[in-house]
Every structure is written in structure tokens, then in C-alpha cells.
Amino acid sequence: MFSGLFRSGRSTAIAPDKSKNTSGVYVADFVDPEELVFAEEGSSNGSGGLQQIVYRSSVPVTPDALDALCDKVGWPARQPGKLETALANSFLVSSVVLRRCGADGAPAEERLIGLARCTSDHVFNATIWDVLVDPEFQGRGIGKALVAEMVKALLRRDICSITLFADSNVEEFYEALGFEANPSGVRGMFWYP
């Protein structure tokens, strides 16, 4: 199986397309990559056996697929209706799937193996939630790639105040990606009923 994560070079262009709206103010219409093939293994000549690890930014994720992934990583069960609402109300949802291709090279099966989502006010702030990777695929850079691609997508939209919520046992993982716990003394505060 895939020993590490690499980019195969297949990706869509990522560039701002500046256009003028009716108010005369320039706005950027950013094109995010719909799909990036992170890794490929097996035959790509039509003889079958091709597998790909694919990052996707605009393909909907079903609540059932997310629930199955949450279960695999040991997260508590969540109600399907609430998962559907959380996904629908997220600003960005990025996913990674394991794609198996048939003998003709066409995708035959996909399984969700990673996900990250964020909420945002669409102009200033965004918060990343629910970064999870199937334990079978952890340690291969998928989580790093999910977070890095999400941060890039937010920065392309000029959203520069990016926060995330993480368990204390994974703080080092996020610090290696440039996040700081309590920068300049800023502390998160929570209210629970």
C-alpha cells in the first residue's frame, strides 16, 4: 500500500480571476482545485489494480461516509441529521478518498479516508473543525495535506484569521503546520449549558 504521500502533478490551476462587479470594486473569484491526485499505485495502463489517494474540495461528502470515518477514528457517534446540517453549513469541506479503478481505468469505487471542514464569516475569520484521517492511512501526510490545502483555500479568499480546535494530544501536529497555541496570550473561552 502507499508508503508515503506525494503529489503526482495532476491538478487544476489555482489562480485568482479578478473581475469588476457593478459597484466598481474588484473582487477575486478564486478557483480551488476540485481534485488533486496525491498518490497513485498500481497499473495505469488499463490492466487493473490502479489505486489513488485523491484530495477533493468541492465534492459533497455524505453524512453516512463521515459517520463511518468518525467511527473508525473512535469519535463518538453523531446523529445523521446533525452531520448533514454541519456539512451543509460549513464554509469549506475538504476530503480525501481512496479511489480504486477498474480494468478500464475508470473509477470503480471510492471510500472516504480523510476530511477537514471549516466555518467562517466569509471575510475575516475561519475555524477548522473535524480533521480526521482513517487510522489505516495515518502517518502518510494526509492530515497535513488536508490542513495545508484548507489554509491555502482560505488565504486565497483573503481570510487571514484562521483558528482550529484540536485535542491537546495533537497540538504538536498543528504547531508543525504553523499554528500556535495561545498566540500573544489569546485564550479560547467556552460556555457550556
CA distances from 75 to 30, 67, 68, 134, 163 (A): 34, 9, 10, 11, 21
- Run of H or E residues at 49: none
Reference 120, options 145, 79, 154, 152; nearest CA is: 154
- Known active-site residue 174: yes
CB 176 within 8 A of CB 85: no
Contacts 24+ apart (CB under 8 A), 177-186: 177/144, 177/147, 177/148, 177/151, 178/151
Which is the catalytic residue, given 26, 55, 174, 192? 174
DSSP secondary structure letters along 54-115: EEESSS---HHHHHHHHHHTTPPP--HHHHHHHHHT-SEEEEEEEEEE-TTSSEEEEEEEEE
- Catalytic residue numbers? 174
